[in-house]
A and B are shown apart, each in its own frame.
Chain A
Amino acid sequence: MVLIRLAVKNAKAILSNYLIIAFIILMPIMQLYMIKLITDNAAAAAAGMDAYQGFVDIVLTSKVNYGNLMEVYSSGILVQFILLTGMIAGSMMITEREQKTMLRLCSVPISKLKLLSGMLLGHSAVLFIITSVIILITRVAFDVSWGSSWINVLLVTVFAVFSAAAMAFLISGLFRSSKVAGGVMSMVVIGMTFMSGGIIQSDSLDVVSNFTINKWISEAYLSLMQGNGLESIAVNLLVLAAIGGTMMLIASMIYRRENLYE
């Protein structure tokens, strides 16, 4: 029960930042809208039967052998905003220390494990809601197909949320000041998006991209969009579980220190 209360409180705390939430949901939608405009115009301009597909082939290098532009960008941009939300969740945990409420939380008769689980649960719930909303909007507004199985999409989302929440937890353990954490983490998110090929594709980034969370999530979504089944994303889910699990483990070790409220 206490776990649920903590989760609800922490979820509310993030969701009550209406401006940030609006930004996180509207930004990807706007980006996708612009991309759609560009592709539609280009398609219209290049008169021909295969115009649409042809355009995509030109713009995207040969590295991308699946899907149309909207699908590639939907998954890429979605992941970027999942991580961004994770980052906000992480800095909320630092704020909790800065405003000393963490000290008060540590003085109530609840184990540290429950306390931290409650927070993580709340943050995960927010991540899950935001991801689902963005997916639904792209589906309805832009007709982006997320594959034939919603269960599989849900599965990828759960793993994506897990790794993003783990990242949030790790950030909150690593940094003392929420401002520093915010700055450093936006760099990391942008950097990972870049390296994962979310912005440009190139051979040299191919190897590096394996070390980004982005690649494993967006590749999984893309594969589902292409109509592939669970077996096609099994490796991705395993890698996400491993990355998330490792970050979770490191973070819990950091949080073992006795004055975790400082």
Chain B
Amino acid sequence: MAIKLTNVVKRYDTKLAVDNISLDIEEGEIFGLLGPNGAGKSTTIKMIMGLLKANSGEIKIKGLDVKADSIAARRLMGLVPQDLAIYENISARENVTFFGSLYGLKGSNLKKQVDEALEFTGLIDRQKDKPKKYSGGMKRRLNIACAIVHKPEIIIMDEPTVGIDPQSRNHILESVRELNRCGTTVIYTSHYMEEVEAICDRVGIVDHGKLIALGKKEELKKQLNKEERLVIEALDIRYNTIEQIKKLQGVANASVNENSIEIITKDAQLILQDVLFVLSKENAVVRSISLQQPDLESVFLSLTGRKLRD
């Protein structure tokens, strides 16, 4: 077991940010923590890193209690914070070297591991530049390099791809896989279903501080197998239309995203007529109708009645 959370609760004043989460993360897996903004992902990560104290509950990192053995526990981990945490006015290499040195690395060993971290994140050619001159994607990669220079057993990435171009994002996702292939346990938080779907073995879905689903991603989707995902492309969809569709018998949940309506149902055949009736009554122009495989987004929709990025 790499990390074990037991009944962890965190309040900010009156706001309950993490609501009694229990969670085991196995050694060597890529664990995805999926949830919309404000779900409590970063708060959970900060408690695992010992940056925040839980109000109650227990967190163990390879058996070490984060409160009692915080320094030993932190030595096993590397954190890629959600917000960039790099010095803008010293070179990328100096950034990585400084943080590496704080883990007790020195001399040729430090130099070698800094080289590797910069190589790994594809920054070695630009290592002498200050991050001021970097693109958003390069800064994100430097943010990762600073966290992996000491070769931690566990890497925790808090939304490492926020606000970057698709190419950098793919580079980062590929490097997460590569780290994992070398035996590193990875915790990856995101509000992008596609990312978690692409790289994670197991997924925990959080919403309003609660862990609402946990399991292998196939298992989570299999739970929905009894359910079908009907996607209707249409123009002029009104809010009212969705509300009516939600009320139809046989509709488990429905949501709208620009010009597409997504409906989770036990039997698409059965409800299709009713749905089309509502749409025509509300003057929506239907463009296409399709039955699709459920994805993690559908899991979230089915559990909460909302899209991840509402």
Chain A interface residues toward B at CB < 8 A: 1-2, 5-6, 9, 13, 16, 99-101, 103-111, 258-259, 261
Partner of A5, one of B53, B81, B101: B101
A6 to chain B, nearest CB (A): 7
Contact partners of B81 in chain A: CB under 8 A? 100, 103-104, 107
Partner of A100, one of B72, B83, B98: B83
Partner of B51, one of A16, A103, A111: A103
Contact partners of B99 in chain A: CB under 8 A? 104, 108
Partner of B87, one of A99, A106, A259, A261: A99
B85 at the interface (CB under 8 A from A): yes
Contact indicator per residue, chain B 241-261, by CB within 8 Å of chain A (1) or not (0): 000000000000000000000
Known: A1-B106, A2-B101. 10 other contacts (CB 8 A): A5-B98, A5-B101, A9-B98, A13-B87, A13-B90, A103-B51, A104-B147, A107-B79, A108-B102, A109-B71
Chain B interface residues toward A at CB < 8 A: 49-53, 71-72, 74-75, 77, 79, 81, 83-90, 98-99, 101-104, 106, 146-147
Contact partners of B102 in chain A: CB under 8 A? 2, 5-6, 105, 108, 110
B52 to chain A, nearest CB (A): 6
Contact partners of A107 in chain B: CB under 8 A? 49-51, 74, 77, 79, 81
Contact yes or no, A258 B75, CB < 8 A: no
B87 to chain A, nearest CB (A): 6
B148 to chain A, nearest CB (A): 13
Contact partners of A106 in chain B: CB under 8 A? 51
Partner of A2, one of B84, B104, B146: B104
Contact partners of B104 in chain A: CB under 8 A? 1-2
8 A-B residue pairs with Cβ-Cβ distance under 8 Å, sorted by A, are: A13-B87, A13-B90, A100-B83, A100-B84, A101-B85, A107-B51, A108-B99, A258-B52
A110 to B74, CA, bound (A): 9
Partner of A108, one of B72, B89, B103: B103
Closest to B88 in A: A99
Contact partners of B51 in chain A: CB under 8 A? 103, 106-107, 258-259, 261
Contact yes or no, A108 B74, CB < 8 A: yes
Contact yes or no, B85 A104, CB < 8 A: yes
- What 5 A-B pairs come out closest when comparing CB atoms? A100-B85, A104-B85, A109-B75, A109-B74, A107-B79
Partner of A109, one of B72, B87, B101: B72
Q: Check A258/B103 contact, CB under 8 A, given A9-B98, A103-B85.
A: no
A107 to B85, CA, bound (A): 11
A62 to B235, CA, bound (A): 89
Closest to B77 in A: A107
